[in-house]
Amino acid sequence: MHKVLVEGIKVYAYHGCMEEEARLGGNYVVDVTIETDFTEAAITDDLTKTVDYVAVCSIVKEEMAIRSKLIEQVGKRIVDRIKREINGILKVKVRVNKLNPPINGVVSGVSIEIEE
């Protein structure tokens, strides 16, 4: 079993239940971990035999650009699309971290994590 990790994908997006979040937006960091078998890629040095990091980043950025009230929904969309569009996936884990959320109290971030 091998893993490809694409970590710290920084995006500015407009998710949240409050009107000001839809208007002002906020900073997010997304991490993606994909379990796969890249033995052939390691031997042949062939990108088509492994997970393309650029494709993963593109999916994350495109899905983060679609507004949702809940980061749970955004995370699920990212997982579903990665599973649908990237070949050779055995398991995928996505973490969406909303930085400095507007909640009552000092919190550096709130996150959801989905693993399928």
Q: Which domains does the chain have, with CATH numbers?
A: 2-115 (3.30.1130.10)
**Is position 83 annotated as part of the catalytic site?**
no
Among residues 3, 83, 93, 98, the one annotated as catalytic is 98
Tokens in use for 9? Answer: 């994908």
User: What pLDDT, in 10s, does the model give residues 38-87?
Assistant: 999 999 999 999 999 999 999 999 999 999 999 999 999 999 999 999 99
State the average pLDDT for the chain. 95
Of 7-21, 38-52, 78-92, 93-107, the least confident: 93-107
pTM (two decimals): 0.94
CA dihedral of residues 76, 13, 22, 71 (deg, nearest 10): 20
Please give the share of the chain, as a percent, with pLDDT higher than 70.
100
| pLDDT at residue 107 is higher than 90 | no
